[in-house]
Structure 1
């Protein structure tokens, strides 16, 4: 049974099918998505993140999250949220680590941010998605798609379709990007229970781009470039440049040649980091899983 039936029917959707993330955990991956900063890359230094750049460009910025605001796995990410002009956490007790509510709790906030926009707006929506435990991530209406992991993906598909429809209803030029920070081991050494782990599959992530008809009319070359790049070997380091590109912005600290909307994007080696000192800095395209379900060099 299809797990992404709603978004796959959307006109104007571009689904890139060869994207990887350098980390198999959130606290490493999200800084790359927001700013290109890979803390384990030699010589890397933190730079300006997307929220602060959009602030400087005069956008009304929002951070809407169903993750905890504080905690050992969340405080680093929460620091990025503090840049936004509007901050909304939908987890219970103000975001302290606890049992999260379903991602749909965010939708009224998203709809309000979009529907009441009177100036350009930039929204970061941080879903729980299929994060373990997958069986806790969807309502009963999505419990019959397949495995709990399949069900959670179908629910995320429904969430994205709702956000896309809200943007379309508002009218005018708009764009939606979706990327996962990391994957999980679904079957590899897990007994069928999805969990964190540094196998190759955990670095393979979906990357969607949708643009409204008005945006496509204004940016026909970028839209065609996106379609031409669907099989290109990207990493999530392409996200900051791609988002800025879609907004018609640029920043000295961002290599705009990485944009997935570029006619000839730069495609660096895809270096990923395992969970031990022995398998950090691995070239993903020249790697395999060892007998103990860890990524390693060929």
Structure 2
């Protein structure tokens, strides 16, 4: 696989010239401020917003959903069960059938810049090495980047998601009129005990560490929204996890089944236009695949996309599995 074979290649972020043929034109961006929050190893079936009742893992998102401030996209799945493949599928034209596009075509930070947006990538995850270079490479096309392993002398960003909040607040306040943010969280990556705080333990004391880690991400997401309300005002936010999780085992497991693909997706949009668009992008089996997320974002950024490309994804629900092979989602390997 071209993309994964180069995943530990620390090549510089030299601007691309080729635009994916899915894009047919552009106009002024439809949303002034766009925020993509990428979670980590969040299994949708453990979110209260998705019907989980054993613990209240997502009290903030549940309250916002009940108030109809956010929409919850049900039956969503990632297009890969590994971070190194799943994240670039959200922010570039790398997908199961076009893995070479990662290094040959303009990605979303580049396209956002081309259409008048200042771009920011703020991450608690690193961006170098075998497991993270794919998305680390994309991050470096942004106007501003900070990760725990990049441009971090004054920011003091660590693998703890709380460390991102001061940087997010500062960059939300940037006076430029159009901004595009990617916020990449550590979320619920193993070990789950490290992904919770005493506040989460006190809130749901009888929960296991995984549920407590989801509670923490819910708090982080609420804090991001509160800052966006104050500093940005006019914005649209999408939260999606990179992939799901087989709780207690992990992800990227050959015969692990569907838990490692089931992801939560939340959209906060002033008129729910993109909630409706996401629902309209469901495939013939009524699934929303993470591959559609980039097309939502491109529409927000003002880009026109050939409908045939969307239709092809709807007709062919493809995923890149941990064995490096491409499967129809309904036919991933099982014992």
TM-score by length of 1: 0.78
1:143-292 map, 5 Å: 143-144=201-202, 145=204, 146-186=207-247, 192-194=248-250, 196-198=252-254, 199=256, 200-212=258-270, 216=271, 221-226=273-278, 232-247=286-301, 249-250=302-303, 255=306, 267-276=314-323, 280-287=325-332, 289-290=334-335
CA distance in 2, matches of 1:16, 1:106: 26
Alignment: residue pair count: 266
Other-structure match for 2:94: 37
* Matched residue SS, 1:76: helix
Q: Any idea what SS the aligned residue of 2:72 has?
A: strand
Distance 2:151 2:121 in 1: 18
Match of 1:124 among 176, 182, 190: 182
Q: Given that residues 19 and 207 in structure 1 are in contact (C-alpha distance below 8 angstroms), is that contact kept between their aligned partners in structure 2?
A: yes
Task: Return the alpha-carbon distance in structure 2 between the equivalents of residues 244 and 93 of structure 1.
Answer: 27
| Contact 2:145–2:151 (Cα < 8 Å) also in 1 | no
Task: Name the counterpart of 1:189.
Answer: none
Unmatched segments (≥5 aa) in structure 2:
1-54
Deviates more, 1:17-26 or 1:224-233: 224-233
The alpha carbon displacement at 1:26 in A equals 1.1
CA contact (8 A) 2:200 2:215 kept: yes
| Change over 3 Å in CA distance of 1:41–1:258 after alignment to 2 | closer
Question: Match for residue 19 of structure 1?
Answer: 76
Verify the 8 A CA contact 2:240 2:263 in the aligned structure 1.
yes
Q: Deviations over 1:239-293 (max 9, x none)?
A: 111012234x115xx556777xxxx99623222233336xx22222245732xxx
Q: Please point out which of 13, 28, 33 is paired with 2:85.
A: 28
Q: 1:91, 1:101 within 8 Å by CA — same for their partners in 2? A: no
C-alpha spacing 1:15/1:257, structure 2 compared with 1 (3 Å): farther
Give the Cα–Cα distance (whole angstroms) in 2 for the partners of residues 91 and 256 of structure 1: 39
Distance in 2 of aligned mates of 1:9 and 1:149: 21
What is aligned with 2:191?
A: 133
Q: Which portions of structure 1, spanning 4 or more consecutive aligned residues, are displaced by more than 3 angstroms?
A: 42-46, 90-95, 192-196, 220-232, 254-259, 286-289
With over 3 angstroms needed to count, the CA separation of the structure-2 counterparts of 1:174 and 1:257, relative to structure 1, is farther
| Deviates most, 192-201 or 28-37 | 192-201
The structure, 1 or 2, with the larger RCO (C-alpha pairs under 8 Å, 6+ apart) is 2
Q: Which residue of 1 aligns with 2:62?
A: 8
Summarize the Cα distance change of 1:275–1:226 in structure 2 as closer, same or farther, 3 Å threshold. closer
Paired position in structure 2 for 1:72: 130
TM-score normalised according to structure 2 size:
0.70
Q: Is the 8 A contact 2:82 2:251 kept in 1?
A: no
- Provide closer, same or farther for how the CA distance between residues 135 and 116 of structure 1 changes in structure 2, counting only shifts above 3 A: same
User: Residue 143 of structure 1: SS of its match in structure 2?
Assistant: helix
SS of match in other structure, 2:121 = strand
In 1, the alpha carbon distance for the partners of 2:75 and 2:289 equals 8
Change (3 A) 1:6 1:271: same
* Structure 1, unpaired ranges of 5+: 187-191, 291-298
- Alignment partner for residue 169 of structure 2, among 111, 116, 136? 111
